[in-house]
């Protein structure tokens, strides 16, 4: 499995950063001045001599799971479908204090993206701090 399949996408990493989630991860999306974006272990100042302008945490599935809230919540898959091309599509539901809430509006191609979407949903709907 490729590393890109084990971390959240750059788009979701940007959203998580904008929403104020902790900026701590083993892996980082690094956006350089020339338009190059690389997935790296740790932060570096440059990518082959090109200065890195922006850093976004590329949270792993485990890191995202640790960020999900404890308490009167339960999270579960509503569907994992295996397509002929070998892609799994993940969705999450949340049981929020007895009320079932559909979290992901669209399927995610990775579990990391599904978990990232759940955290974004919870934060945008003021269900977590």
Residue 129 in any domain: the answer is no
Q: What is the pLDDT of residues 28-41, one digit of tens each?
A: 998 887 878 888 88
Rounded to whole angstroms, the Cα distance separating 93 from 115 reads 10
Rounded to whole angstroms, the Cα distance separating 123 from 57 reads 17
70 and 41, same domain (yes or no): no
Q: What's residue 127's pLDDT?
A: 74
Rounded to whole angstroms, the Cα distance separating 115 from 123 reads 12
Domain count, the chain: 2
33 and 67, same domain (yes or no): no
Q: What is the pLDDT of residues 66-125, one digit of tens each?
A: 887 765 555 554 344 444 445 556 656 565 555 555 555 556 778 888 888 888 888 888
Q: Which domain holds residue 77?
A: 62-124
30 and 16, same domain (yes or no): yes
Residue 56 in any domain: the answer is yes
83 and 41, same domain (yes or no): no
- 56, 31 in Cβ contact below 8 A? yes
pTM: predicted TM-score of the whole model, two decimal places: 0.76
Q: What's residue 2's pLDDT?
A: 81
């Amino acid at each position: 499995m490729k590393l890109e399949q084990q971390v959240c996408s750059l788009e979701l990493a940007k959203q998580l950063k904008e929403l104020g989630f902790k900026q701590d991860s083993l892996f980082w999306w690094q956006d350089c001045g020339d338009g190059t974006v690389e997935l790296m272990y740790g932060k570096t100042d440059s990518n082959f001599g090109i200065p890195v302008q922006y850093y976004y945490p590329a949270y792993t599935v485990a890191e995202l799971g640790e960020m999900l809230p404890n308490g009167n919540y339960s999270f579960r898959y509503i569907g994992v479908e295996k397509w002929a091309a070998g892609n799994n599509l993940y969705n999450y539901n949340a049981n929020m204090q007895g009320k079932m809430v559909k979290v992901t509006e669209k399927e995610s191609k990775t579990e990391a993206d599904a978990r990232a979407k759940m955290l974004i949903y919870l934060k945008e709907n003021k269900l977590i701090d």
